[in-house]
């Protein structure tokens, strides 16, 4: 059997995970981690040139191509950031080489699990992959082994497991609904087969299944009121993992949800998943925006901002239609790039200042100009000010939904504005107040951060037509 690109994006991380678990020396393994992530990214780009055929287990279409390229790209840039981040952690003694070996192996295992969830054509396999991604991130969140980190990991573990259990029940119900039409055996779980026959499924059973899937995978997306694990996991784990969690893992769970939404859309008798998603999205936006005002930990603050943005994205996909889907997809891409860039900056800032408490960080633009302005640019982007990419995608979300549901859109805009106020209020002192904390120059790698911000800026000014047509195709696919 020859291995095509789809197999390769699974094999490269899997083999590297095994290698990284054995090899000693963190300088070498950090480099190897970057090389492996880069190789995976290059392989994912090749999907555009040579398209492998989908089988019973693996699938490739326009939708997951976008997700795969985004995941492998952010996975690669984060590995570059991670190399300089862990260098500092070793020096300060927060992590030991033995833990680092484990950390790198887990990083590649996580990449493997996320890629598997994205290419799986079997809803059972997809579920296993999401579970695996959850487990690896739990282990990484608890890696500092402080009381707080262990509590956060435990909380994430329990809530994540419950979410995953509900998702499995939903998956079983989908199989039950499919069995009369598709027949017993493997076909009953193959996504492409399910979509083809979804019109004949029992709508009542499909409705119940979707509710469980929404609650289950929605927990992993971090939708309020199922978000409780998210701020703790972001705040207490290593910052590269916060970047991957916010930038990628939330997207992967959302992807799983979108696949099931597409299935339900085929069956006209089933409930429309849209209103459910719109409601949860709006609740998340408003709730997270209000929560931003009382945050005292900088990583927790940006974790709440992630909940807000996932809310916006789910809102856009929930509204549906080519334009709103396009906007949701663009917003998801922009959010992944911006939020991981912010976490790159925050990671180095927390290392320089030796604290994550907002009150103890001040005057960053004076003491560490590159980091300070980098974070400032990231915050300007994330709150949705022009001319950056998120302004454009938020504008598209609002304009594409305003005609159809003016009141809902007003609530959404209100949430975005409240969040803008909250973030600026908190970040202002960090940026411009009198210098506080240690003022040592940072040994940071600025390349990943400014690459992401550059891409976001470019997207805000000019979107390449190739990208636009690509996204339009996906939007059509999503219905």
Residues lying near another protein in the complex (CB under 8 A) are found at 122, 124-125, 127-128, 131-132, 135, 138, 142, 147-148, 150-154, 157-158, 161-162, 165-166, 168-169, 172-173, 175-176, 179-180, 184-186, 188-189, 202, 204-205, 207-208, 231-232, 235, 294-297, 300, 356-357, 359
Contact indicator for 370, 446 with CB cutoff of 8 Å: yes
Residue ranges in 23-96 assigned as alpha helix (H)? 26-46, 62-92
In angstroms, give the least distance from the CB of 168 to another protein: 5
In angstroms, give the least distance from the CB of 186 to another protein: 5
Compute the distance between CA of residue 179 and CA of residue 174 in angstroms, rounded to an integer.
Answer: 9
Q: Which is nearer to another protein, 124 or 322 (CB)?
A: 124
In angstroms, give the least distance from the CB of 172 to another protein: 5
Compute the distance between CA of residue 341 and CA of residue 453 in angstroms, rounded to an integer.
Answer: 7
In angstroms, give the least distance from the CB of 177 to another protein: 9
Contact indicator for 345, 375 with CB cutoff of 8 Å: yes
In angstroms, give the least distance from the CB of 263 to another protein: 17
Contact indicator for 440, 352 with CB cutoff of 8 Å: yes
Rounded to the nearest 5 degrees, what angle is found at the Cα of 154, between the Cα atoms of 152 and 155? 65
In angstroms, give the least distance from the CB of 462 to another protein: 40
If you count them, how many residues does the chain have? 479
Q: Which is nearer to another protein, 21 or 414 (CB)?
A: 21
Nearest to 228 by CA among 291, 327, 156: 156
Query: b or e along 262-286 (b: 16 or more beta carbons within 10 Å of the residue's beta carbon)?
Result: bbbbbbeebbebbebbbebbbbbbb
Q: Which is nearer to another protein, 188 or 281 (CB)?
A: 188
Q: Which is nearer to another protein, 161 or 472 (CB)?
A: 161
Nearest to 282 by CA among 213, 358, 223: 223
In angstroms, give the least distance from the CB of 81 to another protein: 22
Q: Which is nearer to another protein, 162 or 385 (CB)?
A: 162
Compute the distance between CA of residue 337 and CA of residue 77 in angstroms, rounded to an integer.
Answer: 10
In angstroms, give the least distance from the CB of 12 to another protein: 23
Q: Which is nearer to another protein, 175 or 373 (CB)?
A: 175
Cβ count near 297 (within 10 Å): 18
Q: Which is nearer to another protein, 297 or 308 (CB)?
A: 297
Q: Could you identify the residue written with the tokens 């969040």?
A: 419
What is the separation of C-alpha 242 from the centre of its chain, rounded to a whole number of angstroms? 10
Compute the distance between CA of residue 472 and CA of residue 477 in angstroms, rounded to an integer.
Answer: 9
Q: Which is nearer to another protein, 65 or 234 (CB)?
A: 234
In angstroms, give the least distance from the CB of 9 to another protein: 21
Q: Which is nearer to another protein, 231 or 328 (CB)?
A: 231
- Residues 6 or more apart from 1 whose CB is under 8 A from it? none
């Amino acid at each position: 059997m020859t291995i095509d690109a789809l197999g390769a994006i699974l094999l490269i991380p899997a083999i590297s995970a095994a290698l990284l678990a054995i090899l000693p020396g963190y300088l070498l393994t950090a480099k190897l981690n970057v090389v492996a992530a880069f190789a995976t990214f290059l392989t994912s780009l090749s999907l555009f040139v040579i398209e492998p055929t989908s089988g019973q287990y693996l699938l490739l279409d326009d939708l997951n191509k976008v997700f795969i390229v985004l995941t492998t790209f952010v996975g690669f840039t984060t590995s570059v950031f991670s190399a300089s981040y862990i260098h500092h952690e070793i020096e300060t003694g927060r992590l030991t080489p033995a833990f680092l070996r484990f950390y790198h192996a887990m990083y590649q295992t996580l990449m493997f699990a996320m890629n598997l969830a994205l290419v799986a054509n079997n809803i059972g396999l997809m579920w296993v992959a999401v579970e695996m991604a959850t487990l690896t991130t739990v282990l990484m969140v608890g890696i500092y082994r402080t009381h707080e980190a262990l509590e956060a990991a435990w909380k994430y573990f329990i809530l994540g497991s419950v979410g995953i259990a509900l998702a499995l029940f939903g998956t079983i119900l989908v199989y039950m609904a499919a069995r009369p039409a598709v027949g017993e055996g493997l076909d009953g779980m193959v996504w492409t087969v399910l979509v083809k026959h979804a019109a004949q499924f029992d709508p009542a059973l499909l409705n119940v299944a979707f509710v469980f899937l929404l609650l289950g995978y929605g927990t992993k997306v971090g939708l309020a009121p199922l978000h409780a694990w998210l701020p703790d996991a972001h705040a207490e784990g290593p910052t590269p993992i916060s970047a991957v969690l916010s930038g990628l893992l939330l997207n992967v769970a959302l992807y799983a949800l979108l696949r099931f939404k597409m299935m339900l859309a085929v069956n006209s008798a089933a409930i429309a998943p849209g209103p459910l998603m719109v409601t949860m999205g709006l609740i998340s936006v408003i709730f997270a925006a209000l929560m931003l005002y009382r945050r005292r930990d900088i990583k927790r603050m940006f974790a709440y901002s992630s909940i807000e943005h996932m809310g916006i994205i789910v809102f856009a996909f929930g509204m549906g239609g080519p334009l709103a889907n396009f906007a949701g997809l663009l917003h998801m891409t922009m959010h992944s790039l911006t939020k991981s860039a912010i976490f790159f900056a925050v990671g180095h800032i927390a290392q320089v200042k030796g604290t994550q408490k907002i009150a103890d960080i001040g005057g960053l633009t004076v003491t560490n100009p590159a980091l300070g302005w980098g974070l400032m640019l990231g915050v300007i982007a994330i709150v949705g000010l022009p001319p950056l990419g998120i302004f454009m995608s938020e504008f598209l979300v609002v304009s594409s939904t305003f005609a159809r549901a003016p009141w809902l859109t007003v609530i959404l805009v209100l949430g975005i504005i409240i969040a803008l106020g909250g973030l600026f209020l908190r970040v202002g002192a960090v940026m411009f107040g009198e210098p506080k904390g240690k003022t040592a120059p940072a040994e940071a790698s600025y390349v990943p951060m400014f690459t992401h911000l550059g891409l976001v800026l470019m997207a805000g000014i000019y979107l390449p037509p190739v990208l636009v047509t690509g996204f339009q195709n996906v939007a059509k696919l999503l219905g």
